[in-house]
Amino acid sequence: MKKTALLFCLCFVVWNLSPAQSPKIAVGHIQTPLGELWIELDDRTPNHKLSFIELAEAGYWDSLTFNRVIPNFVAQGGCPDTPAGFTDPEYLLEPEFHPEMKHVYGALGAGRDDNSGKLSARCQFYIVQNPAGIPRLDGDYTVFGRVIKGMDIIDRIVNVARDLKDQPLEPLSLQVSIKYLNTKEFKALFPPIPYE
């Protein structure tokens, strides 16, 4: 009788750990004038992932734009480049290079200036739009996620009218937030996409 009761209790606990109660997955959501993007943030780059979440939840990017767009290269958003580079240590991160995370189509990377330590500017990010990827950036810039839905929007963004500095003539505003999804919700919204 005791074994039956114990088995019942174990089954009850397991049954009640439904997908809705499973640990939440932090997913980046970027709303633009041309549509929305969904971003998977990679656990293999924990500091960059945490930084992105912190800045998104603080509303950091919500007054900024995609300020550099280049077809067959990237759409870059966040704080614009400055002649002095990035000097505020609060906004710098040590690189987190991972051999399996490449600059493939849809990769999310951290911008940086030309510093010798390859420190990321956590206030700036870019999305690779070149269908062939940009392998020359591997090992120089940290990739910390990828677009899992909305690359058609990025394809449109890089093709807007732009000036000689590759800045869009019409501002492409950003509304960056984090959505917390359980495993069932995540799988329903985003079918698996292997890293290439």
Q: Report if residue 55 sits inside a domain.
A: yes
| Three-state secondary structure of the chain | CHHHHHHHHHHHHHHHCCHHHCCCEEEEEEEECCEEEEEEECCCCHHHHHHHHHHHHCCHHHHCEEEEECCCCEEEEECCCCCCCCCCHHHEECCCCCCCCCCCCCEEEECCCCCCCCCEECCEEEEECCCCCCHHHCCCCCEEEEEEECHHHHHHHCCCCECCCCCECCCCECEEEEEEECHHHHHHHCCCCCCC
pLDDT of residue 33: 97
Q: Report if residue 104 sits inside a domain.
A: yes
Q: Report if residue 119 sits inside a domain.
A: yes
pLDDT, tens digit (0-9, with 9 covering 90-100), for 98-109: 999 999 999 999
pLDDT of residue 19: 44
pLDDT of residue 97: 97
Q: Report if residue 5 sits inside a domain.
A: no
Question: Which CATH number does the domain housing residue 37 bear?
Answer: 2.40.100.10
What is the mean predicted confidence (pLDDT) over 27-51?
97
pLDDT of residue 4: 46
Calculate the average pLDDT of the chain.
86
Q: Report if residue 92 sits inside a domain.
A: yes
What is the mean predicted confidence (pLDDT) over 40-46?
97
pLDDT, tens digit (0-9, with 9 covering 90-100), for 149-163: 999 999 999 999 999
What is the mean predicted confidence (pLDDT) over 47-69?
95
For residue 70, the enclosing domain spans 23-189
| Number of compact structural domains in the chain | 1
Does 96 have pLDDT greater than 60? yes
Does 40 have pLDDT greater than 70? yes
Q: Report if residue 40 sits inside a domain.
A: yes
Q: Could you tell me which residue, 131 or 5, shows the higher pLDDT? A: 131
Q: Report if residue 196 sits inside a domain.
A: no
Does 3 have pLDDT greater than 50? no
pLDDT of residue 87: 59
Q: Report if residue 1 sits inside a domain.
A: no
pLDDT of residue 6: 42
